[in-house]
Structure 1
Amino acid sequence: MTSAVDRLLTGDAGQIPRADARRNVERLVAAARSALAEVGVEVTTQEIAQRAGVGKGTFYRRIPSRETLLQVVLEEVLGEILATADRALADPDPWHGFTDFAAAYVRLRAESCGANEALGGAGIPGLDRLLAEIRTRLRQLVEAAQSAGRMRRDITWQDVAFLLAGVSTDTGTIGLRAEGDQWNRNLRIVLAGLEGQGRSD
């Protein structure tokens, strides 16, 4: 997949961008990625520009719009998750492949507010194809693990999608504060419940 930086630079009619232009786009992409993680999809142009250390004028000279930048960055992030899923599908041990994917997927949802919102259907334009591909990969991973007798057969791949989405946790509940790795503890509990020997009960 073409990088977010290269995709944003292709609008110059095939011309090779100046080094300073590339550096500014690289800064804006990195800033957008960190802002998406911390703030979410409502992050403003001003916030991204400040994080990148550039003015709003530079932002709009290099980027068509805030929405375009967020879409391209989220496409890159979801593309990385798809690549993880493809590696998991190639694993000769279907359960190991599934658990590796599950850990990467849940970590992303826990650590990036924007990615979590996009995966939850926040309505970011242009992501439908990638979300459909992630659904397909998840179904394939679940079916492979079930066929190998490593995952319970009394659940559907859709059940697994909701379980993985639910593993990410809020920072607090009933007066308790979550540890930084609470999502990992939650995931281990969920995986223990999913693992089985082809049971139908």
Structure 2
Amino acid sequence: MTTTAPAVDRLLDDGSGRRPRADARRNVERLVVAARQAAAEGGEITAHEIARRAGVGIGTFYRRTGSLEALLEAVLGEVLGEIVAEGDEALADPDPWAGFTRFALSYIHLRNELCDVNKRLGNVLDHSRAELRDRIHLLVERAQQAGAMRTDVTWEDVAFLMVAASSTGSHTLGLQAGAGQWDRNLQVVLDGLRTPGPGILPGEPPTLVP
């Protein structure tokens, strides 16, 4: 379950050590949620759009965040932290394949959100990419050593495959993506990586647009 606490706390920290008012915290929580929703949906990421989604005025937006960039930097750090934490939890799973698949599912759902925010900020992820690469590398290596993943692919291959699974738009060739399309795509990728035996496809197949 996603939590907005890290981003909210960062935005509310004015260095005074004083506890913010309850209404101030609620407004910042709404703004963080709205920013993340806009990024996850591929929507417009502007101060006015985020304020509209949060149900607050533009004056409240700037009073509580300082700037759009400050809000997005806090959100970026939060999403990055969630992905890295998912990687750490996956590495602690006694079943290497179960840990990898859980991380992969979380990653594809958070990645688009991460990339949209990062793009709006001007690509500031360089210092954090190493952490993400490290988690993927370790998870793939662990699954391969356990005999659960084919060994003729590299962790770099896997990174690209997860991106491919999460890059599907909602339409192609006159077809509408089915429910859980990203999850279905990922399951096909996982079946191609796993040794042996495919899993059960989640969600629903695409349908022809009328």
For the criterion TM > 0.5, the same-fold answer is yes
Is the CA contact 2:150–2:193 (under 8 Å) kept in the aligned structure 1? yes
1:155-181 Cα deviation digits (max 9, x unpaired): 110100000000121112222221021
Correspondence for 2:142 among 139, 144, 155: 144
The residue that corresponds to 2:100 in the other structure is 98
Cα distance in 2, alignment partners of residues 132 and 122 from structure 1: 21
Identity, in percent, stands at 58
Cα distance in 2, alignment partners of residues 150 and 163 from structure 1: 17
TM-score, structure 1 as length reference? 0.85
Greater RCO (Cα-Cα under 8 Å, separation 6 or more)? 1
Q: Could you say if the C-alpha distance between residues 135 and 124 of structure 1 is closer, same or farther in structure 2, counting changes exceeding 3 Å?
A: farther
Measured after TM superposition, the shift of residue 87 of structure 1 is 0.9
Is the CA contact 1:71–1:124 (under 8 Å) kept in the aligned structure 2? no
Q: Does 1:39 align with 2:39?
A: no
The residue that corresponds to 1:195 in the other structure is 194
Alignment of 1:72-151 (within 5 A): 72-109=74-111, 113-117=112-116, 124=122, 126-151=124-149
Is the CA contact 1:106–1:167 (under 8 Å) kept in the aligned structure 2? yes
Is the CA contact 2:72–2:117 (under 8 Å) kept in the aligned structure 1? no
Amino acid across the alignment from 2:114: A
Measured after TM superposition, the shift of residue 126 of structure 1 is 4.5
Amino acid across the alignment from 1:167: A
Cα distance in 2, alignment partners of residues 8 and 188 from structure 1: 37
Amino acid across the alignment from 1:132: A
How many residues are aligned here? 192
Instruction: Give the unaligned 5+ runs of structure 2.
Output: 197-210
Instruction: Give the unaligned 5+ runs of structure 1.
Output: none
The residue that corresponds to 2:33 in the other structure is 30
Q: Could you say if the C-alpha distance between residues 132 and 183 of structure 1 is closer, same or farther in structure 2, counting changes exceeding 3 Å?
A: same
